[in-house]
Homo-oligomer: A and B are copies of this chain.
Amino acid sequence: MQNAVNERLKATIMRLAQVSEAEESVSVNSTAALPSVEAIRHIVSLVKDIVFPGFFDKRQTVGDIRTCYIGMNIEKLGSLLQAQIARGLAFDTQVGEETMTARAAELTLAFIERLTYIKEMLYSDVDAMVHNDPAVKSCGEVIFCYPMVQAMIHHRVAHELLTMGVPIIPRIISEQAHSQTGIDIHPGARIGDHFCIDHGTGIVIGETCIIGSHVMLYQGVTLGAKSFTRGDDGMLLNVPRHPIIEDNVTIYSNTSVLGRITIGHDTVIGGNVWLTHSVPPHSVILQQKAVNSSFTDGAGI
């Protein structure tokens, strides 16, 4: 009987060992190392420590030591990032990781120089949160506890890398934030200063979104695509298909805003709305009022 079991096992192994047709089309370049998700996690965590020194890595960071601290973290960031960018480039082009070294070094340096900009934007986001949530007790609480801070560190880093042409890694970075916070921002989205997300679970911001300053989103808001354009070959085209949100817009929970439409500045959109057309500035958009019938039996609704 044990023999019969072994035969069945062996047959399954053989079937699975065959490279199926479907598999062939998706298989990775077998000699290239894929980017390391752990290293990428480490990279984002170093950016956190550089931007908010003393918060997440509990070390003294005053005076000369502060400079040493930031210097060391940048050196470490640079070394990790360069290796991962080289792998990312190899993932894209299917050439070896080594030949990508020089390009990776350039991109890494360029990214490091963008850190002052990233830092400035993140502090503006924290500032906005402090001014928008009465439950906030201190700025430190926002930095230390709010999922928005995690999500925006990941996004602002991923967006810079995507803009520089780094493949795959931005997407890994944004998925790490997505898994941790439930906030899914495509690295391609352009987001202005003083951006604010409260709670955030279920938020989706699409690849071609353009978001102004002082925009506030609540949990469950989707800034998505309504429909897709196909090329002559029937394949989907990657064209602008997500909303433009102007300055000073607030969107309440679970609302879906879809398609390349424009939400005019100083607008408020209530929750649970399905919105697929542009609205002028200073609008207030609300779902039609719900119906209230008296309760009749235990079967409910």
| A interface with B by C-beta (< 8 Å) | 5-6, 8-10, 12-17, 19-20, 22-23, 25-28, 30, 33-34, 50, 54-55, 58-72, 74-76, 78-79, 91-92, 98, 105, 109, 112-113, 115-116, 119-120, 123-124, 126-127, 131-135, 137-147, 167-168, 171-172, 175, 178-182, 184, 186, 188, 199, 201-202, 204, 206-207, 218-220, 222, 224-228, 236-239, 241, 250, 252-256, 258, 266-268, 270-276, 279, 282-296, 299-301
Contact = CB atoms under 8 A, between A and B. Distances in A.
Contact of A286 (B188, B204, B287, B301): B301
Contact of A294 (B237, B275, B282, B295): B282
Interface SS of A by simple majority: mixed
Contact of A143 (B26, B126, B266): B26
B58 A76 contact: no
A180 B13 CA distance: 29
Contacts of A28: 54-55, 140
Contact of A14 (B63, B67, B132): B67
